Structure 1
Amino acid sequence: MEPGSYTARLSGTTASDSRELDRVCEEVARAMHEEGTEPPFDVASSNFATDPFLICADRYWRLRFLEHPSIRTAAACSLWIAAHVSREARTEVWEKWSLGYAFITKDSVESAVELSRAMEEIVSRDAPAGDVAYFATLYHAGKLRSDFRFDELHQFLDSSLLALAAGVHRQSALFTALRAFAAFGSPVITAEHAVGMLDQAWSSPDRTRHVVDICLNGLQFALPFAGHGELLRDRAAEAVGDHPGDHMFHFRLASGLHMTGDHDGALADIDTALRLLPALGSRGSHKLLQEQYLAKRDAIAEGRLRAARDLEHRQRLGEQDAHHRERWAQLEEELHRRGEEQARAHREGQETARANHVRSVELVAVFTSAIAFAVGSLQVTLTGDFPLRDRLFMIGAWGIAHVLFALLVVGGTWLITRPRR
């Protein structure tokens, strides 16, 4: 088929019929791939939904990468972008293709030897070596990112010849975001360093949707650190505010809300992500993403149920604790009352015993005085030559003395044993 026929057929499609547009773009892309012809047309926009030329070119390079998933193919793709994609759309196409094709070919990571052999070919291209090396670096780094090989990604970005050949592109927000992603998952890099690089990429004026996605991806799969969930939640909420129709950002936000215990909010956002997830995708797997989202939804629902059960359990424990406290207070009050009664009874018993003892002493004193008076009076009466008058006087004096003695004993006993406050 002549190159002009490709352009003519694509020009005859309309964006209103999405099924027809998809079918025509797929057929033209396969025809070019089978004939070994790169797309001869130019791409003026970054609209992957309605631009037939961009959709067709996307399908073509997808077939090329699936057939030869190497940085050589990435270099060829980079050269085509530089020649056929407008400057306004180039950044979006560059990032979307490099990372998207890396995801669908993540099972074919090239070794260090393969990278070294391909490196010579890449830097000898007529196009600026930095641009080609940067696209190839993003492609290979995207594979390592998709496989969560954090340490290999960190080493590749920092010291590989391919990444070093990217030149000034190493300062880009996307490159920094990939470095932050690698740092978040590495056990040898501190969380503070990773957060610092994330902040640098996040605050960059060149921040794109893909920069945000990589930053959130790194946060979601980072090793746990203080404030982890809160940081993911806040950054994902900001991303959703900027891109409300992006299913991936709603998924990241649901993960952050789940980590911070907001299960209701997480459930609402994961449902939104499932609703926004497109049924088809040329660089990603709809089925894989759907399974991932559904697994997260199950985890959120399970966490929500567990939290409700824990709350019910804590409430039940609180009620039991309050009941036990009430019973203990009642028991303490009862013990205190019984203690007071026993103490009062003991005091009354002691006072009664003391009173009885005092009465006994007084009774003995009075009885002793009476016996002594009787004996003394009898002796005075039966013996001696005293006249009656003297005897009566002596008996009276004797009785008065014993009465005084008895009163003295009784008074002294009362004085000694009287209650004292």
Structure 2
Amino acid sequence: MDEKALLDSLRQAATTGSRELDRICEAAAVELIASGVEPPFQVHSADFATDPFLICADRYWRLRFLELPTVDTAARCAQWLTRSAKPEHHTAIAQKWALGYAFITRDTVESAGELTEASGWILQEHRGSAAVAYFATLYHAGKLRANFAFDDLRLFLDSSLLALASDEHRTDPLFVALEAFAAFGSRTITSEHARSLVDKAWTSPARTPQVMDVCLNAFTASAPFEGQGDLLRTRATEAVAEVGDNHIFHFRLATGQRMCRDYAKALDTIDTALRLLPAIGNRGSHQLLQEQYLRERDRIQEGRHLAELSAEQQKRWADQETSNADLRRTLQGSTVRAIELVTVFTAAIAFAVGSLQVTLAGTLPVADRIWMIVTFGIALLVFAMLIIGGTWWITRGRRKP
């Protein structure tokens, strides 16, 4: 391998467009892998978009992890990073690499025995370096997180050799955020304790975008709890306000909006996430993330469709209930009117028949007959009024709207 030619090509790549930059860095990384040589240069920034040396190193270690996805590779990566990058950029690069490489190799989780054996070798080889142990811890924890292995993650962070050897890094906000993720998914830990861990990580002055992402991911991975959607939406809104061009934060926000049934805003937000997702290269695992975002978009569309159907059905039920109420009132009113009409008609017939009998039969004087007819009519009128009044009294409540 011509080291000078490789370095010159990387320097020249800085003046090209993004696609050519991506191609040159990829070719350089492949050449380094083929030669069995680690990147022979220093990294002077944490700019994953334009720094050709960082991009090349990123590609190189990505290929190394895909070839051998173990904590041993993570330890070697951490050692190279400590040796080759400026200290002020260690945290930003290490967190992005550890969690990113864990995501793309999440299907190769090492067994407990393999992990214990590798941990002993790492601690011996690197003389107990807390930074190396912490990077390896983040890498393995990232795999468990990506596989939603909550209890395994909690046990690993609490008692593994690597996690214990991380020493002062155990209080870092990213470590705490991973503990919160495990707690939220566990069925044996209360959501109150999990939320306290999230609050501790979220409010830390050393909070990074990776910390925020793990915290937001914890809300979506959790078993349902009261206020879950609103909490996710609120925190994701803060993250988007802080890092507006981060596609993952827009994805988390869209999920929170969907959980709050704000489908219109959720659709706009997930479209923004898809637009911000890098369309070239594989540094951001474009295809895997795009598949996640498109699934979320489908869920939002489905939720909006179901909400529209539900609203339409509710309207139909309300209209039907109104029609039924009108029909009941109409039937009740008709029944009352019918009873009143029958009562009056019956009284009139009885009066006519009775009056005719009194008029045509008997030997009473005319005055007495008239008095009997009047008395009989008054009695029938009182009877009819009692029937009508009683019917009105009984049905008065049903006639109210």
Q: Whole-Å Cα distance in 2 between the matches of residues 411 and 348 of structure 1?
A: 17
Q: Residues 201, 70 of structure 1: CA spacing in aligned structure 2 closer, same or farther, 3 A cutoff? A: same
Shift of 1:6: 4.0
Q: In structure 1, what is the Cα distance between the partners aligned to 2:185 and 2:281?
A: 28
Confirm or deny that 1:187 pairs with 2:187.
yes
Q: Is the 8 A contact 1:79 1:127 kept in 2?
A: no
Change (3 A) 1:238 1:357: farther
CA distance in 2, matches of 1:104, 1:132: 20
Q: How many residues align?
A: 380
Deviation at 1:417, TM superposition (A): 7.6
The one-letter code sitting in structure 2 at the alignment partner of 1:299 is R
Long gaps (5+) in structure 1: 368-406
8 Å contact from structure 1 (residues 358, 417) kept in 2:
no
CA apart distance, 1:184 = 2.1
**Cα distance between partner residues in 2 of 1:350 and 1:235:** 83
Aligned to 2:135: 135
Any idea what the Cα deviations from partners look like across 1:193-237, whole Å, max 9, x if unmatched? Answer: 222222221122111101111111121222222222222222222
1:174 to partner: Cα distance: 0.6
- Greater shift in the superposed pair: 132-141 or 65-74: 65-74
Please name the residue that 2:33 is paired with. 33
Q: Call closer, same or farther: CA 1:102–1:335 in 2, change over 3 Å.
A: same
Deviation sequence 1:351-392 (CA, Å, 0-9, x none): 66777788799x55669xxxxxxxxxxxxxxxxxxxxxxxxx
Whole-angstrom CA distance in 2 between matches of 1:80 and 1:60: 12
| SS state at 1:124 partner | helix
**2:250 corresponds to:** 250
1:370 corresponds to: none
Q: Which amino acid aligns with 2:153?
A: L
Q: Deviations over 1:329-365 (max 9, x none)?
A: 111111122222233345556666777788799x556
Taking the aligned partners of 1:176 and 1:353, their CA distance within structure 2 comes to 99
- How big is the shift at 1:51? 0.8
- Look up the SS of the partner of 2:13 in the other structure: coil
Q: Distance in 1 between matches of 2:128 and 2:117?
A: 19
Moved more, 137-146 or 63-72: 63-72
1:97 aligns with 2:90: no
CA distance in 2, matches of 1:140, 1:283: 19
307 and 349 in structure 1: CA distance in 2 versus 1, 3 angstrom threshold = same
Q: 1:23: how far off? A: 2.5
- Equivalent AA in structure 1 for residue 113 of structure 2: V
- The reply to whether residue 114 of structure 1 matches residue 114 of structure 2 is yes
Q: Is the 8 A contact 2:278 2:284 kept in 1?
A: no
Does the CA contact (< 8 Å) of 1:15 and 1:51 recur in 2?
A: no
**Structure 1 residues 122-151: Cα deviation after superposition (integer angstroms, max 9, x where no partner):** 223456622111111000001111122122
Contact 2:19 2:280 (8 Å CA) reproduced: no
1:62-92: CA deviation from partner (whole Å, max 9, x where unpaired): 1222222111111111122222211221110
Give the secondary structure class of the aligned counterpart of 1:289. Answer: helix
CA contact (8 A) 1:257 1:266 kept: yes
1:320 aligns with 2:320: yes
Question: Residue 356 and residue 155 in structure 1: after superposition, are their counterparts in 2 closer, same or farther (change >3 A)?
Answer: farther
Instruction: Check the 8 A contact 1:103/1:284 in 2, yes or no.
Output: no
For normalisation by structure 2, the TM-score amounts to 0.85
Q: Which has the larger radius of gyration?
A: 1
Query: 1:356-367 residue pairs with structure 2 within 5 A?
Result: 363=362
| Structure 1 residues 334 and 411: CA distance shift in structure 2, 3 A | closer
Distance 1:339 1:316 in 2: 34
Distance in 1 (alpha carbons) for counterparts of 2:215 and 2:168: 21
Q: Alpha-carbon deviation of 1:287?
A: 1.8
Structure 1, 223-232 or 409-418: larger mean CA deviation: 409-418
Task: Identify if the C-alpha distance between structure 1 residues 12 and 339 changes in structure 2 by more than 3 Å, giving closer, same or farther.
Answer: same
* Letter aligned with residue 110 of structure 1: E
Residues in 1 aligned to 2:334 and 2:317: alpha-carbon distance in whole angstroms? 25
- Change in 2 beyond 3 A, CA 1:29/1:418: closer
User: What residue ranges of structure 2 are gaps of 5+ in the alignment?
Assistant: 383-401
Deviations for 1:2-43, whole angstroms, at most 9, x for unmatched residues?
Answer: 655543432233244223322222232223223332223221
Maintained 8 Å contact 1:180/1:197: yes
Counterparts of 1:411 and 1:314, CA distance in 2: 66
Map residues 16-415 of structure 1 onto 2, 5 A cutoff: 16-126=16-126, 129-348=129-348, 363=362
Q: Which amino acid in the other structure matches residue 250 of structure 2? A: H
Check 1:281–1:139 CA distance in 2 against 1; reply closer, same or farther (3 A cut). Answer: farther
1:121, 1:156 → 2: CA distance? 17
Counterpart of 1:12? 12
1:158 is displaced (CA, Å) by 1.5
Q: 1:178 & 1:15 partners in 2: Cα distance?
A: 39
Paired AA for residue 264 in structure 1: A
Which residue type is aligned with residue 140 of structure 1?
H
Deviations 1:315-335 (A, max 9, x none): 122222212211221111111
Q: How far did residue 47 of structure 1 move?
A: 0.2
